[in-house]
Amino acid sequence: MSPWIRRLAPVAVVALVATGCSSTAEDDGTIKGKTVTVIGTWGGDEQEAFLEMVKPWEEQTGAKVKYTGTRDINTVLTTGVASGVLPDLAGLPGPGQMADYAKAGALVPLDDVLDIATYNSETAPALVNLGKTDGKVYGVFIKAAVKGLIWYNPKLHDYGANPPKTWSELLTQAAANQGAAKATWCLGIESGAASGWAATDWIEDIVLRTAGPEVYTQWYQGKIKWSDPAIKNAFQLYLDDVVGKTYGGAQTAVSTNFGNAGDPLFANPPGCQFLHQASFITGFSEFKNHTAGTDYNFFPFPDIDEKYAGAVEGAGDLFGMFNDTPAARSLMRYLVTAQAQDIWVKKGGALSANKNATSYPDDISKRSAQIIGDAKIFVFDASDSMPTAMNDAFWKGMVALTSGSDSIDKVLADLDSAQKDAYAA
Partner 1 sequence: MDPRLVTAIEVVVGVPAALVAYIWLTERIVTLLPAKARNRVRPWLWLGPALVFLGFFLIYPTIRTILRSFQSRNPRNPEWVGLDNYQWFFTNEGARSALVNNVLWVVLLTVFTVGLGLLIAILVDRVRYESWAKSIIFLPLAISMVAAGVIWKYMYDFRPPGEQQTGTLNAAIGTVGLGPVGWLQSPKLHVTTFALIAIMVWMWTGFAMVIISAAVKGIDPELLEAARLDGAGEWQVFRRVTFPLLGPTLAVVSTTMVITSLKTFDIVYTLTNGNYDTEVIANLMIKEMFTIGDFGRASAVAVVLLLAIIPVMAFNIRQFRAQESVR
Binding site for partner 1 (CB under 8 A): 72, 74-75, 78-79, 81-82, 100, 104-105, 192-193, 195-196, 247-249, 251-252, 254-255, 271, 388-389, 392, 396, 399-400, 403, 405, 414, 421, 425
- Residue closer to partner 1 by CB (options 223, 410) is 410
- Residue closer to partner 1 by CB (options 68, 255) is 255
3-state secondary structure 182-241: CEEEECCCEECECCCHHHHHHHHHHHHHHHHHHHHHHHHCCCCCCCCHHHHHHHHHHHHH
Residues listed for the chain: 425
Nearest distance, CB of residue 399 and partner 1, angstroms: 5
- Residue closer to partner 1 by CB (options 273, 352) is 273
Nearest distance, CB of residue 264 and partner 1, angstroms: 8
Nearest distance, CB of residue 168 and partner 1, angstroms: 28
- Residue closer to partner 1 by CB (options 179, 310) is 179
Burial class from Cβ neighbours inside 10 Å (0-12, 13-18, 19+) for residue 27 reads: exposed
CA 292 from centroid of its chain's CA atoms = 22
> Would you say 177 and 155 are in contact if contact means Cβ atoms under 8 Å apart?
no
Nearest distance, CB of residue 422 and partner 1, angstroms: 8
Quick check: bond before 269 cis, omega within 30?
yes
Burial 5-18 (b: 16+ CB within 10 A, else e): eeeeeeeeeeeeee
- Residue closer to partner 1 by CB (options 74, 118) is 74
Going 243 to 232 to 310 to 125, the CA torsion angle's sign is negative
Torsion angles phi and psi, residue 166, rounded to 5: -130, 165
Nearest distance, CB of residue 181 and partner 1, angstroms: 14
Nearest distance, CB of residue 195 and partner 1, angstroms: 6
- Residue closer to partner 1 by CB (options 321, 393) is 393
Task: Count each helix (H run) and each strand (E run) in the chain, helices first.
Answer: 17, 12
Nearest distance, CB of residue 339 and partner 1, angstroms: 33
- Residue closer to partner 1 by CB (options 271, 302) is 271
- Residue closer to partner 1 by CB (options 295, 414) is 414
- Residue closer to partner 1 by CB (options 16, 82) is 82
- Residue closer to partner 1 by CB (options 145, 254) is 254
Nearest distance, CB of residue 251 and partner 1, angstroms: 5
- Residue closer to partner 1 by CB (options 91, 326) is 91
Compute the C-alpha angle 178/183/184, nearest 5°.
70
Angstrom distance (rounded) from CA 337 to CA 122: 9
Angstrom distance (rounded) from CA 309 to CA 97: 30
Angstrom distance (rounded) from CA 348 to CA 334: 20
Nearest distance, CB of residue 102 and partner 1, angstroms: 13
Nearest distance, CB of residue 392 and partner 1, angstroms: 6
Q: How far is CA 243 from CA 24, 32, 232, 251, 296, in A?
A: 58, 56, 15, 10, 22
The greatest distance separating any two alpha carbons of the chain, rounded to the nearest whole angstrom, comes to 93
Nearest distance, CB of residue 369 and partner 1, angstroms: 32
- How many other CB atoms are found less than 10 A from the CB of residue 232? 16
Angstrom distance (rounded) from CA 192 to CA 257: 8
Angstrom distance (rounded) from CA 264 to CA 185: 10
Q: Cβ contacts of residue 233 below 8 Å, gap of 6+?
A: 210, 211
